[in-house]
């Protein structure tokens, strides 16, 4: 059984459509979303509709949470803040209710999904090194957990110690634990502007990171034609 595991879509409809097409082309029959459907780019409502139509497990991201609330915006950088204000104005009450009700952590079959960390899922910390990963491993009760939030695909593998593995194909071996970042569909930040997601073959116990070209110009044009900051369009070219 093949799962497409994807997240950090950030309202980039063109990237999301390209990823779902690629997943279908690769015989994915199941889908799991690791959160941050909205924020930054120009199609929050449309991306939500598409994810909801998949009727798949979804966990909450920090942008999903912020967008679903009416509370003052604190702790965001100026770019994220003006994008969040715009995003709130472009979601329906039903969209916000859906986002508000999302769970922080879910187990799907024999693996777990979370947006940011397993040790404090609602603290929205960033796992950027093996020490951060070790804190999550203490709360990981399945061999494999998929996450996002940093927009950078990478795998942390725990055997006697924790290793960092940036290869595209990860073979899951018995007795080890895997904390795998699937990268970002709609705003990659590892210098590669292509959309990123993961295919997990549960039979073969193999996780494959895929990078997908998409119609970036259209996504950028929509940002420039909206009241969103133009910088959000420019960063899609550099993948930062
Ligand atoms: Zn994100």
Question: 3-state SS of 157-214?
Answer: EECCCEEEECCCEEECCCCCEEEEECCCCCCCCCCCCCEEEEEEECCCCEEEEEEECC
Share of the chain above pLDDT 70, in %: 100
Which helix (H) or strand (E) covers residue 86, if one does?
helix 78-89
Ligand 1 centroid to residue 36 C-alpha, Å: 5
Ligand 1 centroid to residue 63 C-alpha, Å: 7
Give the list of residues 6+ apart from residue 101 with CB closer than 8 angstroms, or none.
none
User: How does the average pLDDT of the chain come out, rounded?
Assistant: 97
Residue 208 pLDDT greater than 90, yes or no: yes
Taking residues 40-44, what's their average pLDDT? 97
C-alpha pair distances (Å), 13 with each of 50, 117, 157, 169: 9, 26, 32, 26
Question: Is the Cα dihedral 225, 226, 230, 234 positive or negative?
Answer: negative
Ligand 1 centroid to residue 186 C-alpha, Å: 9
* 3-class state of residue 144 by DSSP: strand
* pLDDT reported for residue 73: 86
* pLDDT reported for residue 77: 86
Ligand 1 is an ion; residues with CB less than 5 A from it: 8, 36
Q: Name the superfamily (CATH) of residues 2-238.
A: Metallo-dependent phosphatases (3.60.21.10)
Q: Are 183 and 152 in contact (CB under 8 A)?
A: yes
Q: Are 154 and 101 in contact (CB under 8 A)?
A: no
Q: In what order do the strands lie in the sheet with 195-201?
A: 30-33, 2-6, 195-201, 206-212, 169-171
* pLDDT reported for residue 152: 98
* pLDDT reported for residue 89: 96
Ligand 1 centroid to residue 154 C-alpha, Å: 15
Rounded-to-integer distance, Cα 115 and Cα 60, Å = 7
Strand partners for 164: 156
Residue 228 pLDDT greater than 90, yes or no: yes
Domain coordinates in residue numbering, the chain: 2-238
**Over the stretch 153-191, which tens digit does the pLDDT of each residue have?**
999 999 999 999 999 999 999 999 999 999 999 999 999
């Amino acid at each position: 059984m093949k799962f497409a595991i994807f997240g950090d879509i950030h309202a980039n409809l063109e990237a999301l459509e390209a990823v779902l097409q690629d997943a279908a082309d690769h015989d994915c029959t199941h889908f799991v979303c690791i959160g941050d459907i909205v924020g930054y780019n120009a199609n929050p409502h449309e991306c939500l509709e598409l994810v909801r139509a998949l009727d798949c497990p979804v966990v909450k991201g920090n942008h999903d949470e912020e967008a679903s609330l009416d509370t003052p915006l604190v702790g965001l950088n100026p770019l994220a803040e003006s994008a969040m204000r715009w995003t709130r104005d472009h979601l329906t009450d039903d969209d916000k209710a859906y986002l508000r009700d999302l769970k922080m952590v879910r187990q799907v079959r024999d693996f777990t999904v979370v947006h940011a960390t397993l040790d404090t899922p609602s603290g929205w910390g960033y796992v950027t090194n093996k020490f951060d990963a070790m804190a999550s491993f203490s709360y990981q009760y399945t061999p494999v957990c998929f996450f996002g939030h940093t927009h950078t695909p990478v795998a942390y593998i725990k055997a006697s110690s924790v290793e960092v593995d940036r290869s595209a194909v990860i073979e899951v071996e018995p007795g080890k634990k895997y904390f795998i970042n699937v990268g970002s569909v709609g705003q990659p930040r590892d210098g590669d502007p292509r959309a990123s997601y993961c295919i997990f073959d549960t039979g073969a116990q193999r996780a494959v990171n895929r990078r997908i070209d998409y119609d970036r110009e259209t996504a950028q044009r929509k940002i420039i034609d909206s009241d969103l900051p133009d910088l959000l369009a420019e960063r899609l070219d550099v993948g930062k």
